[in-house]
């Protein structure tokens, strides 16, 4: 069965213009990444997970995640925590920041999250998980989504028991990554489980895990009945993967296009995080963008050891001078004065 990936769909009253969702990824999904994902065809983009405790205590680094640009919508901001009251307060804050959906993380397998009783741990405490969803859904007017794994241990089918309960508690959509928390990112995503979840709930289900090509996206949607697919690691430094999934006529980028997108991403990240934080944050992206045979390995290694993003930019442009006019066009298309600024310390928005 052919599925039109360009077809829009709905999460309650929020229209999602394509059937590709850009995953929330810690240490990756900054605003520049999300805006780029929307430009390349993601119908919905998601922030990296934001600690409800950090929001409650007005931690500047945490509140810095709550900056929303006009060209990100529709946008889900993901929150995590283990206390219904604190999660409800965090939800109100992210809606005030401009989120179109509040996404709740019941899937993170990382120890520093699960040891607090948050993330995937909550799948083994369905009463608390449902209490969190109900509190958040009651606190905000926007749809509430939940991202979860199959369960804590390999072979678990917990998601099939908990999923319908979360919908009854107020979840307007579910995202299933059918790996266990124990698996982390090894092995394969079992989308037979996704198909079972789809049959059990009356809200849209987003299928996450191992969607790296248009053919795989079509296969997952056709065999599961999911409303959309979520793309994560495949889009890291490779927004063309999103375009290739959405549009069957999309091809591979030229070296000039790669450099133009990378430099724009660098400039936007510096604007968001400040030079000091951005310089460190961006190093992993150089390999992601310039890999796949696009540039020699030695060139990527030269960039990683440079001290400033300006030095990196100079080397990139020298390697692909034709990127400059493309970069100018990209920057001309970006909206200006487009961020929602809350009543928060100005240092949050200035990088630092």
Active-site amino acid positions: 108
Of 51, 180, 182, the closest CA to residue 104 belongs to 51
Structure token digits, residue 1: 């069965």
CA distance 319 to 86: 50
> Which residues have CB under 8 Å from 312's CB, separation 6+?
266, 282, 286, 303, 306
Of 104, 184, 196, 115, the closest CA to residue 159 belongs to 196
Q: Please state the separation of Cα 342 from the chain's center in Å.
A: 22
Residue 113: strand, helix, or coil = helix
Kind of pairing between the strands at 75-80 and 173-180: unpaired
Question: If you search the block for the tokens 């963008």, which residue do you land on?
Answer: 289
Of 180, 141, 150, 147, the closest CA to residue 166 belongs to 147
Q: In 10 A of CB 221, how many CB atoms?
A: 23
Question: If you search the block for the tokens 């946008």, which residue do you land on?
Answer: 75
Structure token digits, residue 296: 């020699």
Q: Please state the separation of Cα 266 from the chain's center in Å.
A: 18
Of 294, 264, 296, 295, the closest CA to residue 282 belongs to 264
Of 205, 83, 67, 231, the closest CA to residue 146 belongs to 205
> Which residues have CB under 8 Å from 268's CB, separation 6+?
31, 32, 35
Residue 188: strand, helix, or coil = coil
Burial class of residue 292 in the structure, from the number of CB atoms within 10 Å of its CB (0-12 exposed, 13-18 middle, 19+ buried): middle
């Amino acid at each position: 069965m052919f599925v039109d990936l360009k077809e829009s769909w709905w999460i309650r009253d929020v229209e999602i213009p394509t059937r590709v969702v850009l995953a929330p990824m810690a240490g990756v999904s900054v605003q520049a990444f999300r805006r780029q994902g929307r430009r390349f065809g993601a119908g919905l983009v998601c922030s990296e997970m934001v600690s409800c405790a950090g929001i409650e205590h007005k931690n500047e680094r945490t509140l810095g995640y709550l900056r929303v640009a006009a060209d990100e919508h529709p946008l889900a901001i993901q929150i995590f925590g283990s206390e219904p009251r604190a999660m409800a307060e965090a939800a109100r804050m992210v809606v005030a920041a401009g989120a179109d959906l509040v996404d709740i993380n019941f899937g993170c397998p990382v120890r520093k999250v699960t040891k607090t009783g948050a993330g995937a741990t909550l799948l083994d405490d369905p009463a608390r998980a449902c209490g969190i969803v109900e509190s958040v859904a009651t606190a905000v007017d926007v749809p509430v989504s939940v991202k979860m794994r199959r369960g804590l241990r390999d072979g678990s089918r917990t998601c099939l028991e908990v999923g319908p309960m979360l919908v009854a508690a107020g979840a307007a959509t579910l995202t299933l990554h059918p790996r266990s928390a124990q698996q982390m990112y090894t092995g394969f995503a079992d989308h037979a489980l996704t198909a079972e979840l789809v049959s059990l709930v009356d809200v849209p289900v987003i299928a996450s895990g191992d969607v790296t090509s248009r053919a795989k996206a079509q296969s997952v949607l056709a065999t599961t009945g999911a409303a959309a697919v979520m793309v994560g690691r495949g889009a890291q430094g490779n927004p063309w993967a999103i375009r290739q999934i959405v549009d069957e006529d999309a091809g591979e980028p030229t070296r000039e296009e790669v450099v133009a997108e990378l430099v724009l991403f660098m400039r936007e990240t510096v604007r968001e995080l400040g030079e000091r934080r951005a310089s460190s944050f961006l190093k992993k992206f150089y390999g992601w963008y310039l890999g796949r045979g696009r540039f020699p390995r030695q060139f990527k290694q030269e960039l990683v050891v440079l001290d400033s993003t300006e030095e990196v930019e100079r080397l990139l442009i020298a390697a692909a001078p034709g990127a400059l006019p493309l970069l100018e066009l990209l920057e001309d298309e970006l909206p200006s004065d487009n961020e929602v600024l809350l009543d928060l310390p100005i240092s949050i928005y200035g990088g630092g």
